[in-house]
Amino acid sequence: MAEQAAAGIAGAWAEIAALAGEAGAGAIRPLFAADSKRFARFSRRADGLLLDLSKTSLNDRRLGALIGLARAVGLAARRDAMAAGETINTTEGRAVLHMALRGEGGFRTGEEDVSAEVAAVLGRMRDFCAAVHDGTTLGATGERFTDVLNIGIGGSDLGPAMVARALWTPAAPMRAHYLANVDAHAWEALRPNLDPARTLVLVASKTFTTQETMTNAALVRDWLRGTLGEGAAGHFAALSTNLKATAAFGIAPERVFPFRDWVGGRFSLWSAIGLSLGLALGWEEFSKLLSGARAMDGHFLAAPLEENLPVLLALAEIWHVNGLGYPSRAVLPYDERLARLPAHLQQLEMESLGKRVTLAGTLAAHSTGAVVFGEPGTNAQHSFMQLIHQGTTPVPCDIILVAKPDHKHADSHRKLLANGLAQAEALMRGKPASEVRAEMAAAGVAEAEIARLLPHRVFPGDRPSAAILLPHLDAFTLGQLVALYEHKVFCLGALWGINAFDQWGVELGKQLAGAILPELEAGAAKPGAHDGSTEGLLRELLGSAG
Ligand code: F6P
C-alpha cells in the first residue's frame, strides 16, 4: 500500500518534470494568443476574493499533472486530518488547529472539545476589551488606557502588527504599538510616544521564555514602575500557553489569556495573540477578521481541488519552484496598508516550508520553500522590480489589488491600480527587440546607438504573476487573504512531504547566543570556544565597546 502510494507520488513528480522539460514550458504569451477565454478559465473566486492564475504558464495538461500530484499525496485526506485534530505535526507531537480559533465550533483533538475552550477564551478577551474601552478597567492613576503595547516577536508580533497596520484608523478605540526586537533602540524609539499612566502592556509569547520578549517585558516593567510603582502590575496582561511562567512574571491569572500548543506561532494571530487587535480596532473588527478567515476555511475544506484557491496557489508554486526552477517569489500588495504583509508571509512561508527533510526523515528529493520577499507597490517598482523584469531567473509575483479604496483621492487610486496591472502585464508581455528597435528608430536614434543599447532595453517577458483581487480591504477580506496563504502553506507542506508546523531550524542560533552572552557579560572571549572568525569579531566588539 505504502509502496503503491510512493510510486504514485513519484509518477506524478515525473509527469510534472516531463511537462516542465518540454520546450517553451515557461512561455505564457502563446497561451493567451491561443485562448481568448484564458482569464476566465484560470481565475477562481471564493466569497468575493478573486485569484487569477492566467498570467502563469499553467495550462490544462500542466494543471492536470499538478492536481495528479495533489491526489497522489492524498492532499484532501491530509487536510481533513488537520481539521479532525489529528497529530499531523509529528515532530512535536501536536495537532494543528488554527482553524478552530475562527471556527463556529465542532473542532476536537481526541476527546477534547477544542472549540468550547476557544469560545471561552474569546469570551474573556471580548469582556476585557469592553472593560478597557468603557473605562471599567483603568490604569493605576485612574486614567483610561489609550495605548496598547504588544511585546512579542515572530508569530507573537508579525501577524497582529500587520493587521493593525492594515486596519487601524484614527477613529479606532485605541492606538497599537508593537515591540519585538531585543535591540533596545526599538524600545527607545517607542518610549517617547507612550504615557505610562495610559499604556496597557500585553506580553505576547507562546512559550513565555523567548529571550527578546522577556528582556523587553522587563525593560517596560521597569519603565512603568518608575512612574507607577507597584501600580504597574495592573498595566500588564499576558498572552501565552505557559501559565506557570506568566504567574512567575507576576501577571494575575485573570489577566492571562491562554491558547494551546496546537496553534503554531505563525498561525496564532487569531488566538489570544490577537488581543491587541480587539483592543486597538474594536472587538467587532477582530470578529470580522475571524469571519473572513472562517469563510476561507469553509472554501478550503469543501471546494474540489480544481476550484480550491489555496490548493491552486500551492500548485502554481510547485510548477514554478520544482517545474521551472524559479526559487523565489515576490509579494507585491498594491495597498500601502498591507505594507507588513510581506513580512508576515516571510515568517509564515519560510519558517513553515524551509525544510530539507521529509516527514519520513529522509532528505527531500525536490526543492522546497521559496524565498519570499516583498514591498508594497508602487514602491517596489522603484526598488527591486528591475531584477524581476530583466534579471537572469524569473521571480513569480503575487500582485494584490484592492478595487475600492478608503480615501477620496480617486486619481491616486487609479494610478495605483494602473501600475499594479501594468507591472503584471509588462512581466508577462515583455518587450521584444523588434519593438525596442522600432521605438528607438522612431525617436531618431542612430543605428549604431540602437545596436549598442538594444540588448539592454529588451524585456524577455513570460514572467509569471498571480493576481489576487479584493473588492475592498477590510477585516473580513484581510481574514480571507491571510487564511488563503495559511492554507497554501499547509498544501505545500503536504505536496513536498515535509512538516510545515515545526521550526527546529531556529534553535541552534538561540543556543549559541546563550553561550556567547556570558562572554560579552564578562568582557572577555573564552579562548578556543569558537571558530577563529567568531572569536576575532567578539574581541573586536569587546575592544570597541571598551
Ligand atoms: O524562534 C522562532 C519562534 O519560535 C517562532 O516560531 C515564534 O513565532 C517566535 O519564535 C516567538 O515565540 P514565542 O511566542 O514563544 O515567544
DSSP for 190-221, please give it: HGGG--GGGEEEEEE-SSS--HHHHHHHHHHH
Same-domain pairing of 424 and 457: no
Ligand 1 pocket residue status of 155, Cβ below 6 Å: yes
Same-domain pairing of 257 and 326: no
Same-domain pairing of 124 and 199: yes
Virtual torsion, Cα 316, 322, 328, 333, nearest 10 deg: 0
Q: Which atom of ligand 1 is nearest to the CA of 268?
A: 8
The catalytic site residues sit at 351, 382, 510
Residue 3 has a pLDDT of 87
Same-domain pairing of 106 and 243: yes
Ligand 1 pocket residue status of 205, Cβ below 6 Å: yes
Q: Which amino acid is at 176?
A: A
Protein residue with its CA nearest to atom 1 in ligand 1 = 506
213 CA to centre of ligand 1 in angstroms: 10
CA atoms within 13 A on the CB side of 527: 0
Same-domain pairing of 311 and 355: yes
Answer whether 161's CB lies under 8 Å from 150's CB: yes
Ligand 1 pocket residue status of 272, Cβ below 6 Å: no
293 in any annotated domain? no
16 in any annotated domain? yes
What CATH number does the domain containing 126 carry? 3.40.50.10490
Instruction: Give helix 114-133 / helix 283-302 axis angle, nearest 10°.
Output: 160
297 in any annotated domain? no
Ligand 1 pocket residue status of 173, Cβ below 6 Å: no
Q: What is the 3-state secondary structure (H, E, C) of 232-279?
A: HHHHEEEEECCHHHHHHCCCCHHHEEECCCCCCHHHHHHCHHHHHHHH
The residues that bridge with 178 in the sheet, in sequence order, are: 150
Q: Look at residue 518 and give its three-state secondary structure.
A: helix
User: Residue 375 has which C-alpha cell?
Assistant: 514591498
- Location of C-alpha cell 527531500: 364
User: Residue 188 has which C-alpha cell?
Assistant: 527607545
Same-domain pairing of 263 and 317: no
Same-domain pairing of 396 and 485: yes
Top mutation candidate among 92, 96, 156, 240 for ligand 1, by most atoms within 8 Å of CB: 156
Protein residue with its CA nearest to atom 16 in ligand 1 = 205
CA–CA gap between residue 154 and residue 132 (Å, rounded): 26
154 CA to centre of ligand 1 in angstroms: 5
Same-domain pairing of 210 and 346: no
The last residue of a domain, from among 254, 288, 322: 288
80 in any annotated domain? no
536 in any annotated domain? yes
The last residue of a domain, from among 237, 259, 288: 288
214 in any annotated domain? yes
397 CA to centre of ligand 1 in angstroms: 27
Q: Which atom of ligand 1 is nearest to the CA of 210?
A: 16
Q: Look at residue 121 and give its three-state secondary structure.
A: helix
- Taking the complete model, does pTM exceed 0.95, yes or no? yes
> Is 204 buried (19+), middle (13-18) or exposed (0-12) by CB count in 10 A?
buried
pLDDT string in tens for the chain (546-residue length): 788 899 999 999 999 999 999 999 999 999 999 999 999 999 999 999 999 999 999 999 999 999 999 999 999 999 999 999 999 999 999 999 999 999 888 999 998 999 999 999 999 999 999 999 999 999 999 999 999 999 999 999 999 999 999 999 999 999 999 999 999 999 999 999 999 999 999 999 999 999 999 999 999 999 999 999 999 999 999 999 999 999 999 999 999 999 999 999 999 999 999 999 999 999 999 999 999 999 999 999 999 999 999 999 999 999 999 999 999 999 999 999 999 999 999 999 999 999 999 999 999 999 999 999 999 999 999 999 999 999 999 999 999 999 999 999 999 999 999 999 999 999 999 999 999 999 999 999 999 999 999 999 999 999 999 999 999 999 999 999 999 999 999 999 999 999 999 999 999 999 999 999 999 999 999 999 999 999 999 999 999 765
* Ordered alpha helix ranges (H), 35-104: 38-41, 60-72, 75-83, 98-102
156 CA to centre of ligand 1 in angstroms: 7
Residue 1 has a pLDDT of 72
82 in any annotated domain? no
User: Residue 155 has which C-alpha cell?
Assistant: 508569530
350 in any annotated domain? yes
- ipTM for this model: 0.98
Sign of CA dihedral 383, 385, 390, 394: positive
Same-domain pairing of 247 and 311: no
Protein residue with its CA nearest to atom 10 in ligand 1 = 154
CA–CA gap between residue 283 and residue 106 (Å, rounded): 23
Residue 2 has a pLDDT of 84
Q: Which of 355-383 are b and which e, b meaning 16 or more Cβ less than 10 Å from the residue's Cβ?
A: beebbeeeebeeebbbebbbbbbbebbee
**Domain region containing 448:** 430-462
Residue 149 has a pLDDT of 98
Residue 460 has a pLDDT of 97
Same-domain pairing of 369 and 283: no
The number of domains in the chain is 4
Same-domain pairing of 245 and 151: yes
Same-domain pairing of 274 and 339: no
